[in-house]
Amino acid sequence: MSIQAASKVVTESQNLPPTDSRERVKQFVQKLQDDICAGLEQLDGKASFREDSWQREEGGGGRSRVIRDGRVFEQGGVNFSEVWGDTLPPAILVQRPEAAGHGFYATGTSMVLHPRNPYVPTVHLNYRYFEAGPVWWFGGGVDLTPYYPFTEDAVHFHQTIKQACDAHHSEYYPAFKRWCDEYFYLKHRQEARGIGGIFFDYQDGNSPLYFGPNPNSSAAEYSNKVGKVARNWEELFAFIQSCGNSFLPAYVPIVERRQNTEYGERERNFQLYRRGRYVEFNLVYDRGTIFGLQTNGRTESILMSLPPLVRWEYCYQAEPGTPEAKLTEVFLKPQDWINYQG
């Protein structure tokens, strides 16, 4: 064997996941589901999660937990899934063609919460892990979608996430925050879904920080400026754990501040109107929805992210100077929330 070939073998072996990788990630995302559900039930104080276990005919299954008609949460779900099969769906193979021809394994937890009070923001979380032959990667993120936003809430949410990222690499938050602003964007509306958070995908030992479809985006430019960031499986797994465990500290204080704010029909109607944007994004763009449907996942679990009530209004325009107008004019524009002075 030549020196070059031997070096390649060593490098590839260093980038392989540990033999117990699947079980370790599975146990973590299951515990994250348990911890989040326990924290949310305590926060709501009225409703409890209903659990439905399901099996996938092609391999795998999961447990879906839904909370409804609570004091705080009108509806929400926190899901765990673990699936495997002969081939990854086309939507993923476009980005990772080297995974073609290999069986795959995927596990993760995903969550969407739709609070009752319009002053409490909707929130989304997803952390996942894939293996396909020698190919593996982590992905996920968390983001906030307020209806009547507050600067202190946006700052707190982003600061908490940044602290979790900074514990592992100082470039994670600025790169993944930019990617989040790019990803949670409704192109047909030319409008962001919310105030962002972090988003990342296809993170392995060799990937750039940004591995998205737009080479000219702000996230891509930032990632190119940073250059290669050497990581291994253990370091990325530790990063995912920190991100997941930061959710309750990031979200619960916001709910506690806003849950008793008085509201009327105007605020409720605006909340239902803005939920329509959430539905549009999840049905048109969301990768988790697309992956679940393309792999024959449980439809009820995939679509648990949709709100129980929603409305659309033809050619709606918020009155100038109102809180409703401020949402789109200020909060749905990409902002440096860590240093925001508005």
Beta-bridged to residue 307, according to DSSP, are none
124 included as an active-site residue: yes
Rounded to 5, what percent of the chain is helix, strand, coil? Answer: 45, 20, 35
Pick the closest to residue 337 from 210, 205, 198, 227 (CA basis).
198
Pick the closest to residue 86 from 277, 296, 319 (CA basis).
296
Distance CA 250, CA 119 (A): 16
The 8-class DSSP code of residue 79 comes to E
Token pair 């995939």 is found at: 302
To which H or E segment does residue 109 belong? strand 104-115
Token pair 């946006």 is found at: 154
Distance CA 314, CA 317 (A): 9
Annotated catalytic residue: which of 124, 156, 158, 168? 124
CA R_g for the chain:
20
- Residues belonging to the active site: 124
